[in-house]
């Protein structure tokens, strides 16, 4: 039986930019260190939250290399390597493997809207060309396509495919996947507002946006679930719902970057086509952070 890449909390790391729009590696290193010091179980670099969609291939590879070196085996490093071009996904995956990453995160191909057969062929093609475990990433609100439980069952038979980051919000899909795939295909929540209910259905943790701001909370929440203390975990989930909602008032990573800047972490701006939060939403976010004692 395969083992999960990680159990617990994993931040989907923000990528800080300097005033000229380049990656601010000093701030990036401090963010990584702060997450590890807070007790996270893994870090995910160059995902959606890291603005990988507007990174060049060269920047993407360099960011993964930096993260691996900075982490220095303290926790697992999961490298985002997904693409709507299968050959590009292989290229990024192989570079991440060469950099020393521990696992890969592969979002479903976006815009192409592959069929379920196309998804299977895409992931099997990648899996045949790397040695690292692969975490699938299902986020149909962004990509326009979702896995089915039957496709998960097929892909779960591949030893390279470790499980899925599920951000569909579809609990029926989650339950059917658990029924069809059993305990040897792992699931992680991709939604911060659904960590506890997903872990109650067997998820192993969360790949989290909110962890960038409140890592200790996400660590505690997942560990309570892993200890089967769902009553305490549920109270924590509910306690932070207002803040989590505020962190998604606009498309990720706009609010989380704004929140980190508000607490003085110097994440810089966003790359177009993303832009700063509206003043109204920023005020809502600021008020929520203040109520939680973060400002």
CA distances for 238 relative to 193, 221, 230, 249, angstroms: 9, 11, 12, 17
The pTM assigned to this predicted structure is: 0.96
Asked whether 77 and 42 are in contact (CB, 8 A), the reply is: yes
Point out the catalytic residue in the list 76, 123, 152, 165. Answer: 165
> Which tokens go with 187?
């699931």
Domain range 8-227, CATH architecture: Alpha-Beta Barrel (3.20)
Q: Residue 235 catalytic?
A: no
The whole-angstrom separation of Cα 174 and Cα 222 is 18
Express each pLDDT in 128-183 by its tens digit.
Answer: 999 999 999 999 999 999 999 999 999 999 999 999 999 999 999 999 999 999 99
Q: Where are the domains of the chain?
A: 8-227
pLDDT at 1 (0 to 100): 76
Q: Residue 137 catalytic?
A: yes
Q: Judging by DSSP bridges, how do beta strands 161-166 and 186-189 pair with one another?
A: parallel
> Which tokens go with 246?
């505020």
pLDDT per residue of the chain (295 residues) written in tens, 0 to 9: 789 999 999 999 999 999 999 999 999 999 999 999 999 999 999 999 999 999 999 999 999 999 999 999 999 999 999 999 999 999 999 999 999 999 999 999 999 999 999 999 999 999 999 999 999 999 999 999 999 999 999 999 999 999 999 999 999 999 999 999 999 899 999 999 999 999 999 999 999 999 999 999 999 999 999 999 999 999 999 999 999 999 999 999 999 999 999 999 999 999 999 999 999 999 999 999 999 999 9
Point out the catalytic residue in the list 123, 137, 152, 240. Answer: 137
pLDDT at 292 (0 to 100): 97
């Amino acid at each position: 039986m395969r083992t999960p890449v990680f159990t617990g909390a994993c931040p989907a790391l923000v990528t800080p930019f300097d005033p000229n729009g380049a990656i601010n590696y000093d701030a990036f290193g401090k963010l990584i260190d702060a997450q590890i010091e807070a007790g996270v179980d893994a870090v995910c670099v160059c995902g959606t939250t890291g603005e990988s969609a507007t990174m060049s291939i060269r920047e993407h590879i360099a960011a993964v290399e930096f993260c691996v070196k900075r982490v220095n085996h303290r926790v697992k490093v999961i490298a985002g390597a997904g693409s709507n071009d299968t050959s590009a996904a292989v290229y990024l995956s192989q570079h991440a493997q060469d950099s020393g990453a521990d696992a890969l995160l592969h979002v479903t191909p976006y815009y192409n809207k592959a069929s379920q057969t196309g998804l299977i062929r895409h992931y099997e093609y990648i899996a045949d060309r790397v040695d690292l475990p692969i975490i699938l990433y299902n986020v149909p609100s962004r990509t326009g396509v979702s896995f089915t439980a039957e496709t998960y069952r097929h892909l779960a038979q591949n030893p390279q495919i470790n499980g899925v980051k599920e951000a569909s919000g579809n609990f029926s899909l989650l339950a059917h996947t658990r029924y069809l795939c059993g305990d040897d295909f792992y699931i992680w929540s991709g939604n911060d507002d659904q960590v506890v209910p997903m872990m109650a259905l067997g998820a192993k943790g969360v790949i989290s946006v909110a962890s960038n701001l409140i890592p200790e909370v996400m660590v505690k929440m997942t560990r309570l679930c892993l200890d089967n203390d769902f009553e305490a975990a549920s109270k924590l989930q509910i306690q932070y719902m207002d803040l989590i909602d505020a962190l998604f008032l606009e498309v990720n990573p706009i609010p989380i970057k704004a929140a980190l800047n508000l607490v003085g972490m110097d994440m810089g701006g966003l790359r177009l086509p993303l832009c700063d939060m509206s003043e109204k939403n920023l005020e809502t976010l600021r008020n929520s952070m203040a109520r939680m004692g973060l400002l």
